[in-house]
Amino acid sequence: MAINKTPAIILYSRKQGETSKILTMLTEHYGKQKIIAKGSRGIKSKYLGVLEPYNYISIVFYRKETREFQYLSQADGIERFPSLHQELGKLSLAAIPCEIIQRSERTGHKNPQLFVLLLETLRALDAAACGLKNILRFFYLHFLIISGFEPDLSKCSICGGTSLDKSYFFELDNGIYNCHDCGILTEYSIGISGKTLEYLRWLSRADLHKVADVKIPAATGLELDTILLTYMRYHVEGLLNLKSIEHLEQLLNKLKK
């Protein structure tokens, strides 16, 4: 058994017995880990306020690779993202990247790029006043890129045309797009507008901390979300019926009423 120290982000927390928690964390040095924090609940706990979902912390834990759960020895807060915890809408959005990683990432798989992407996504959500959905869209696309599914958005895969003034098909299986006129329609093709392709190109090279400033029309935003989530679910296992997305939709419906 080894004693390990690493920065970590809490993805998910659930109660264990009367006083403990089981925390799923994305750690910087040891990938995703499930860690039991004994005596971590209640107002007398030394971890009060530290072991809350989406916090960025530093941990010391006992690790044995053959075990499903590891044991926490020490935890200290690094960053708490105050506005994520104060605003219900932001908290619901922060849950989405955390649930995607919790469900799809292999335990123990060290993935420093993903760690940075999640940390910067949480920082951006915490800092932004509007345009929060663009931060999520950036996360979806860059999560796909890190996972090896970068779509080729540079040109029509058949005629090589780069202009975006027509209608197009996106092929989920190959991550490429074709003009409507060039395209060979397969069962894995979905319609995509030139505008949506343009925003995807932009998101692939944008600065995460500036994407919230850009206003995307609602219909294009909806198409972007659909394409990104459908493409992600096609390639990454375990992402159907994400509770965090269902929860966000319920919240938005309530606000509309």
* Footprint of Zn ion (CB under 5 A): 156, 158-159, 161, 179, 182
Nearer to Zn ion, 176 or 208 (CB): 176
In the complex, the smallest distance separating the C-beta of residue 161 from Zn ion, rounded to whole angstroms, is: 5
Distance CA 61, CA 38 (A): 12
In the complex, the smallest distance separating the C-beta of residue 47 from Zn ion, rounded to whole angstroms, is: 57
In the complex, the smallest distance separating the C-beta of residue 181 from Zn ion, rounded to whole angstroms, is: 7
Q: Is 145 helix (H, G, I), strand (E, B) or coil?
A: helix
| Chain centre distance of CA 237 | 14
Distance CA 220, CA 135 (A): 15
Distances (CA, A) of 73 to 6, 13, 37, 44, 46: 12, 17, 8, 17, 12
Distance CA 35, CA 115 (A): 17
Nearer to Zn ion, 39 or 161 (CB): 161
Tokens 């030394």, located at residue: 46
In the complex, the smallest distance separating the C-beta of residue 190 from Zn ion, rounded to whole angstroms, is: 16
In the complex, the smallest distance separating the C-beta of residue 183 from Zn ion, rounded to whole angstroms, is: 7
Nearer to Zn ion, 115 or 177 (CB): 177
The residue type of 206 is A
Nearer to Zn ion, 51 or 156 (CB): 156
Distance CA 51, CA 12 (A): 10
Nearer to Zn ion, 158 or 251 (CB): 158
Q: Which two tokens stand for residue 239?
A: 């992402």
In the complex, the smallest distance separating the C-beta of residue 110 from Zn ion, rounded to whole angstroms, is: 40
Nearer to Zn ion, 148 or 160 (CB): 160
Distance CA 142, CA 229 (A): 12
Tokens 């029509």, located at residue: 156
Q: Is 23 helix (H, G, I), strand (E, B) or coil?
A: strand
